[in-house]
Amino acid sequence: MIQPGIVYIIGAGPGDPDLITVRGLKYLRRAEVVVYDRLVNRELLDHAPVWADYIYVGKQPGHHTVSQAEINAILIREAAQGKIVVRLKGGDPFVFGRGGEECQALAQAGIPFAVVPGISSALAVPAYAGIPLTQRGQANSFTVVTGHTAGPDHCAIDWNSLPKTGTLVILMGLANLPYIVQSLLAGGRSSTTPAAVIHQGTTPQQISAIGTLADITAKAKDIRSPAIIVIGQVVALSHCLAWFQPSANLQPESDRPELLFAPIGALE
């Protein structure tokens, strides 16, 4: 009888490949199978053994070519064969990454697993845009919510219950930005509250739209996913704290997002 292997569920960070943890690289270098997402920087795959199997399970917004149930089954199947499996996920696995669901499936199947936390885009992207989530005298707290289910047809967020002060970080909310802004204004946030939308933060393709709740929807109209939304007084600090210069970090042929985020084989 084959003894099951193990699944390492690793947070790959928000996009900059240098932001993966030392422990994450340690296990990635031992992988026999790498199961990776759309928002994992392809450069990280170079750290896995050349003979490892790579399985792409990326999900486009509104279009999931591989369901979560199928991903769970892949992890169980590969580990049941005695393999060391690395599940490489963008950001942190337990911050809107469905890592908990994958761990539940593995536990129910009797497959050993371990979790390696990653740097969440909720923390790193504002930092790269010069936006501190907390600042003495301006914000003594921050709240992170998903905007993926924030639309009027399937709202899972009670906007009125969110704090009216502090910093609000919204992940996966770009498609619902107009509704989010409307809901925050209706819930008591001032129209002059600073707001930012940041596309592909921490990468050379980073683009920021800075404004207020009154005009951020218009200012961000040309920004595409992936992007995060930051709302609060600290956003105004970006004008003097923005230290990251994306254009200076561009490498030849790297100005197309798909070169950073693509399945193996898509570039060949």
Q: What is the pLDDT of residues 10-56, one digit of tens each?
A: 999 999 999 999 999 999 999 999 999 988 999 999 999 999 999 99
pLDDT of amino acid 171: 95
Q: Which domains does the chain have, with CATH numbers?
A: 6-119 (3.40.1010.10), 122-246 (3.30.950.10)
At residue 253, φ and ψ (nearest 5 deg) are: 65, 15
Marked catalytic residue, from 37, 83, 89, 92: 37
Compute the mean pLDDT over every residue in the chain, rounded to the nearest whole number.
89
Sort strands 194-199 and 207-212 into parallel, antiparallel or unpaired: antiparallel
Q: How confident is the model at residue 114 (pLDDT cuts 50, 70, 90)?
A: very high
Q: Which two tokens stand for residue 12?
A: 């790959």
pLDDT of amino acid 249: 55
- Stretch (H or E) spanning 64: strand 63-64
Q: How confident is the model at residue 151 (pLDDT cuts 50, 70, 90)?
A: low
- Please state the rounded mean pLDDT for residues 61-79: 87
pLDDT of amino acid 232: 97
pLDDT of amino acid 58: 85
pLDDT of amino acid 253: 40
Give pLDDT tens digits for 196-243: 999 999 999 999 999 999 999 999 999 999 999 999 999 999 999 999
Question: Could you tell me the CA-to-CA distances from 233 to 16, 124, 172, 194 in Å, in that order?
Answer: 26, 18, 21, 6
Marked catalytic residue, from 53, 59, 215, 219: 59
Q: Which two tokens stand for residue 200?
A: 């592909």
Q: Within 13 A of 80's CA, how many CA atoms are on the CB side? A: 12
Q: How confident is the model at residue 155 (pLDDT cuts 50, 70, 90)?
A: low
- Please state the rounded mean pLDDT for residues 166-189: 94
pLDDT of amino acid 245: 85
Q: Confirm whether 158 is a catalytic residue.
A: no
127 Cβ contact list (under 8 Å, min separation 6) = none
Marked catalytic residue, from 16, 89, 92, 172: 172
Q: How confident is the model at residue 2 (pLDDT cuts 50, 70, 90)?
A: confident
pLDDT of amino acid 164: 86
Q: Which two tokens stand for residue 197?
A: 């939308």
Q: Confirm whether 59 is a catalytic residue.
A: yes
Q: Confirm whether 37 is a catalytic residue.
A: yes
Whether the per-residue pLDDT at 256 is higher than 70: the answer is: no
166 Cβ contact list (under 8 Å, min separation 6) = 139, 140, 141, 142, 143, 232
Residues 149, 157 contacting (CB under 8 angstroms): yes
- Please state the rounded mean pLDDT for residues 161-182: 93
Give pLDDT tens digits for 133-142: 999 999 999 9
